A = this chain, B = another copy of it.
């Protein structure tokens, strides 16, 4: 079985980083609860939105993300049993390419470079399972799509959902 796993908001906590950087730089107190159902940049005053939207273009942004809870342990178990690929849309931000590679070397060294994919469209992926937080990636996938819960997607329906890596483990291990 071949499993493709998205990176941002599935393995790496991009959402939290957006919120934390915004709070620190604008001396704000935005909480994840306040953001539920939205992107972080939708929840800040209009004058601050460009700043938040450009976090991903900063040097170091992707290198310093925190892994999502239990992702390392569960992916390690999955990789022992199945063919596991990490598939990320990093081509959008060329400065992120090397940072993402370094981040994976640190947190997911058991996924070798041969099993790391950077791409834009995910409908070019052939595989049995795709775990992703974006419905537009999942609806075009031929295999079994699993929507990984992120604050921005809590209102999405019609796709099999996993709320945590513990739930991924229950379904696939």
Contacts and interface: CB of A to CB of B under 8 A. Distances in A.
Interface in A89-134: 90-92, 94-95, 97-98, 101-102, 112-121, 123-127
Identical subunits present: 2
A97 B101 contact: yes
A78 B37 CA distance: 41
A4 B121 CA distance: 13
B98 A91 contact: no
Interface residues of A, number: 28
Contacts of A118: 90-91, 97, 117-119
A129 to B, nearest CB: 13
Contacts of A90: 118
Given A113-B120, A117-B119, 7 more contacts: A91-B117, A92-B113, A97-B118, A116-B119, A117-B120, A117-B124, A118-B118
